[in-house]
Structure 1
Amino acid sequence: MLDRHIRPYIDPPLNRIGGHIAGWGLSANAVTFAGLAFGLAAAGAVVAEAFVLAMLFILASRLADGLDGAVARARGVTDFGGYLDITCDYAFYAAIPLAFVMLNPAAHGVAGTFLLLSFYVNAGSFLGFSVLAERRKMRSDAHGMKSLYFTSGLLEGTETIVFFLVLCLLPAWFSPLAFGFGVLCLFTAGARVLLAWKVFATK
């Protein structure tokens, strides 16, 4: 919901920094892998109960996630780069809830499983829509230049990152927060299915 509104503010500085990184010879894929490494480090910090460190790693991971696209635009966008980016994104999104489950399986297991289920359903609705949108040659730059067609929803990347940061600030509240966010994820997926029915119901 917030992604398209913050894009005009974050894209210009990201593009400038990304241009410098491209000039150093780093590839967009290397930046993508760095973002994943930071994300997995954040998950490890959660398991170690180093929540401040986890927050710093989460922010570093998402900064890299924004910079890889900027580097790609400077060096040349590739289909594989877009594929790698979305794959690493979903690995990161799954790693943080899993880390909280590992932190306290007895207390967090059910809520964490429900949260991962909601992520899985939401991801399926997003990727399925993107495939059909590509088949119909649909285009949108509301979320910046992307390799995939991005549909807006109640919960997007910005909301998910804020949610992860809140979990780190309030780890004792993981279960109610996870259930609440999971319900909103399923609502987002349901809304996307309705949109797909409206857009793709006819040949």
Structure 2
Amino acid sequence: MMIDNWLEKTKIRNALRKFVKKYLFNKISPNTLTLLGFTFGLTCALFIFLSSITNYTLEFIILSAIFMILSFFLDVLDGTLARLKKPSVFGGILDLFCDRTVEISIIIALVSTDPLNLVWPGLFSLAAIILCITVFLAMGTTCKTKNAGKNQKAIYYSHGIMERSETLIFLLLMTILPPLRIILLWFFAILVFLTALQRLIQAYCKLSSKEQ
């Protein structure tokens, strides 16, 4: 898996850099793009919720899928722009906050469409996200301290099974395929939990090698 890691090695990355340099570099800040993506993501969650309480279910599902994709695209653009302009610590923190808030909001919105059947896989998904981000931040803080003065990245990032692209795919499928939401939510929760374990193992291996 790890689609994000694969995309970095393709021509798509260079195409994005050229697009950002030409159209965005001197016109908008990375944080503004982050907040725009955040707004689109929350709007997506609202549309998912509205799809279950109005007579325009299909229309709201289509709108939510469109806004989800736009939110993700803006997230990709803000990361590309930040790397070109030099990443800031606050920008990295803001990006993490917005990404997780959007993901959690969408999951809550999905659960609200059928709470009786989706509450447990929804809770396990949220718990898995908490575990994953806790290990991610703990590992990032520790490795950043160990590598003080050596690493110029704003936030230490470790790759895992479930990253931003995989999360988008799951959330998008859950949105457009209501009958499969319970299965996809359980599968999502399991993969996010496995990602947390993977990062825990990565932290153990990385820190053990430094202490020897």
Query: TM (normalized to structure 2)?
Result: 0.86
* 69-78 vs 181-190, greater mean Cα deviation: 69-78
CA shift for structure 1 position 116? 0.7
* 1:1-203 alignment runs, 5 A limit: 1-9=2-10, 10-19=12-21, 20-24=23-27, 26-49=28-51, 50-137=60-147, 147-201=154-208, 203=211
CA distance in 2, matches of 1:75, 1:152: 23
- Per-residue deviation, 1:82: 1.3
CA apart distance, 1:146: 5.3
Q: For 1:79 and 1:195, how far apart are their aligned partners in 2?
A: 23
CA distance in 2, matches of 1:121, 1:38: 26
Question: 1:22 offset after TM fit, Å?
Answer: 2.5
- What are the superposed Cα offsets for residues 156-195 of structure 1, whole Å, 9 maximum, x if unpaired? 1111111011112211221121111111111111121122
| 5+ long unaligned stretches in structure 1 | none
Distance 1:16 1:103 in 2: 41
CA 1:146/1:165 → structure 2, altered by over 3 Å: closer, same or farther?
A: farther
Once the two structures are superposed, residues 93-132 of structure 1 have per-residue CA deviations (whole angstroms, 9 ceiling, x without a partner) of 1111011122222221111111111111111111111111
Q: How many Å separate the matches in 2 of 1:2 and 1:136?
A: 28
Percent identity over the alignment is 27
Q: 1:188 & 1:158 partners in 2: Cα distance? A: 14
Q: 1:8 deviation in Å?
A: 3.0
Q: How well do the aligned residues superpose, as a CA RMSD in angstroms?
A: 2.0
The list of structure 1 runs, each at least 4 consecutive aligned residues, that deviate by more than 6 angstroms after superposition, is none
CA contact (8 A) 2:136 2:158 kept: yes
Equivalent position SS for 1:8: coil
Q: Distance in 2 between matches of 1:55 and 1:146?
A: 32
Larger radius of gyration: 2
In 1, Cα distance between equivalents of 2:31 and 2:80: 11
Say whether the 8 Å CA contact 1:18–1:68 is kept in structure 2.
no
- 2:30–2:79 contact (8 Å) kept in structure 1: yes
Shift of the 73–131 alpha-carbon distance from structure 1 to 2, 3 Å rule, reads: same
2:4–2:163 CA contact under 8 A, matched in 1 = yes
